[in-house]
Amino acid sequence: MALLLKEKKKETIDKVQLERAIIRVLNEGKKDTFHEIIHALEKYEIASQYKELPRKRKSLFLEWLSIQELTELLRYLSKDEQLSVLERIGPDRSTEILHRMQNNDLAFLLTGLSKGKIDDLIAKMRREELESILQIMDYPPKTAGRVMTNRYIPISPQLSVIDAEKKLKTFENLAHFINYLYVVDEDQRLIGIVTFRDLLLADDDQCIANIMRTEPIQVDVLTKQEDVAKLIGRYDFDAIPVTTGDHVLVGTISGDQVLDIIVREADEDIEMLLASGKSIDFRTKPFVAARRRLPWLILLLFIGLVSGSIISKFEETLNAVVALAFFMPMIAGMTGNTGTQSLAVVVRGLASEEMTWKKTLKLVMREIVVGVVIGITCGLLIAIIAFFWQGSMVLGFVVGVSLLSTLIIGTIAGTIVPLLLNRFHVDPAVASGPLITTLNDILSLLIYFGIATMFLSQLS
């Protein structure tokens, strides 16, 4: 089986066949064959196979994995799945895994759990490790302090290069986390960094103070995590040091941690843009998925009732010109669509750009121009269609001007609302697509029937 996997490394082996093979060796108790299969798979593939296993086979699958394999497995699972694994393998193995996890990952895992659940998980952890995790959890969510790891190597500026290399070798267990050596003074204040390249090119007897890079770029523990991601991306760092207000080094954030941040932020933004509130994936149970979607949808339902009340206010106009009803869905739908498009552009821009007043004004003006161009184009097109369809030039004018006006306003709303939320330090993604669409529906109906009422004598 292992040979077959190696020969078909490029995903040519059928995933279902692999799943059946793993279930078969679990059923038959062939532990050696199981390890052959696992060792031939990539880490994410192991996690994928675990997720697809029947519930009754998962315990044995976990039992046959080593502590290192279990630790790697957790990296590719959701928070709920991680907790399920820790519960299945028992307190002793769970403690060993928790010791191997990065402190920031462990802090994220514990966040939001009940005190009793946290106490059960950390009961057997070493005191110094536990204190470090609790310190990270004290920092506000989504800040550098919450996502940093304290697994770094501080060195003295008085060390020689050869001594620094010897110290580095004593931290072989941190090899996965090390990107730089951080130079600190007696008070643990960051004064410089040394790269591996610096060490390799320097003479053995050179002093670290002579080869270190001074005034390193660093972030405060309270810096927002998305700002950290932007900074690392801008300078193309492998990692960035995290310090307190007086420049005391307390941790680092690496590039792979930033990738986790970006993915997590993107997931949250997509969830809010779709008004689903909390994460829902293929494995979420129907009633759980419904419960997570319902609050937003119920809110939007009541907001949507406003649209009905608007139509009732213009009942006489609608009765006088029934043809107006033919264009209502199109105008409301187009306004919602253009608003959602602008919202997506702004949210994406805010995630990757540092917004200044100049940039904000430029973005708003650009979107207004976009709205005008789209509005004129679509307005003229629908005016011509309405004229030939209903044989009324006035109706064509009313529908065309209404669509022009609503598309401009929809574009502005989709731009201004997330910018205002961002200005007041609220996640702009809460201006979700369904919310913008519903608000634009209300505005479009008001404009449409307002213009139609103005020309009612010519229409009827």
247 has pLDDT over 60: yes
Q: Are 208 and 164 in contact (CB under 8 A)?
A: yes
Angle at 437 between CA 382 and CA 384, to 5 degrees: 0
Angle formed by the axes of helices 31-39 and 55-64, to 10°? 80
Spatial neighbors of 328 by CB under 8 A, at least 6 apart, are: 311, 445, 448
Per-residue pLDDT for 353 more than 70? no
Cα–Cα distance, 435 to 304 (Å, whole number): 10
Calpha distance 347→418 (Å, rounded): 7
pLDDT band at 3 (very low <50, low <70, confident <90, very high): very low
With 90 as the cut, is the pLDDT of residue 241 above it? yes
pTM for the whole structure: 0.60
The answer on pLDDT for 174 being more than 70 is no
Give mean pLDDT, residues 286-306: 70
pLDDT at 86 over 80: yes
| Cα torsion 162, 129, 186, 248: sign | positive
pLDDT band at residue 454, thresholds of 50, 70 and 90?
confident
H helices of 274-322, in order, are 286-313, 315-320
> If you average pLDDT over every residue of the chain, what do you get?
81
Q: Quickly tell me which residue has 């696992």 as its tokens.
A: 38
445 in Cβ contact with 311 (< 8 Å) = yes
Residue pair 280/266 in contact by the 8 Å Cβ criterion: no
Return the axis-axis angle of helices 393-423 and 357-390, rounded to nearest 10°. 160
Mean pLDDT, range 297-317, rounded to an integer = 76
Q: How far is CA 171 from CA 1, 65, 167, 176, in A?
A: 37, 26, 7, 10
The gap from C-alpha 33 to its chain's centroid, in whole angstroms, comes to 38
CB 147 within 8 A of CB 138: no
At position 172, the amino acid (one-letter code) is E
Q: Specify the range with the lowest mean pLDDT, choosing from 88-92, 186-190, 311-315.
A: 311-315
Q: Pick the more confident residue, 292 or 374.
A: 374
Percentage of residues of the chain with pLDDT beyond 90: 15
For range 303-308, the mean pLDDT: 74
